[in-house]
A and B are shown apart, each in its own frame.
With several copies, the nearest count.
Chain A
Amino acid sequence: MKSLAIINQQGPLHSNAGQESVDLVLAAASFGQDVSVFFIDDGVFQLLKMQKPDVLEHKHFAKSFGAFEFYDVENIYVCQRSLTLRNIESNQLNVACQILSDTELNAKLANAHNIITLS
Chain B
Amino acid sequence: MARFSIIVTSASLDSQGCYSAYRFTQTAITNGHQISGVFFYQSGVNIANTFQTMLSDELALYPKWVDLANEHKIPLQVCVTAANRRGIISEQDAIQNDTPELFNLKPPFQSVGIGELVSMLNESDRSIQF
Contacts and interface: CB of A to CB of B under 8 A. Distances in A.
Determine whether A and B are in direct contact in the complex, meaning some CB atoms lie less than 8 angstroms apart: yes
Interface of A: 2, 4, 13-17, 19-20, 23-24, 27-28, 31-33, 56-59, 113-118
Nearest to A28: B118
Nearest to B23: A56
Given A2-B121, A16-B85, 4 more contacts: A27-B114, A28-B117, A56-B23, A118-B42
B1 interface: no
Contacts of B16: 13-14, 56
Interface residues of B, number: 27
A19 B58 contact: yes
In the A-B complex, the 10 residue pairs with the closest CB atoms: A27-B114, A31-B118, A16-B13, A114-B127, A15-B14, A31-B115, A114-B121, A59-B58, A57-B59, A58-B59
19 contacts: A14-B15, A14-B16, A16-B13, A16-B42, A19-B58, A24-B41, A24-B117, A27-B118, A28-B114, A32-B118, A56-B16, A56-B19, A56-B23, A59-B58, A114-B5, A114-B127, A115-B127, A115-B129, A116-B9
Contact of A23 (B5, B57, B81): B81
A54 to B, nearest CB: 10
Nearest to A3: B121
Contacts of B81: 23
A73 to B, nearest CB: 14
Given A16-B42, A24-B41, A2 B59 contact: no
Contacts of A15: 13-15
B42 A17 contact: yes
A117 B128 CA distance: 11
Contacts of A2: 121-122
B8 to A, nearest CB: 11
Interface in B94-130: 113-115, 117-119, 121-122, 127, 129
B76 to A, nearest CB: 18
Contacts of A24: 41, 114, 117
Contacts of A32: 118
B7 interface: yes
Nearest to B126: A114
A32 to B, nearest CB: 7
Interface in B7-34: 7, 9, 13-16, 19, 23
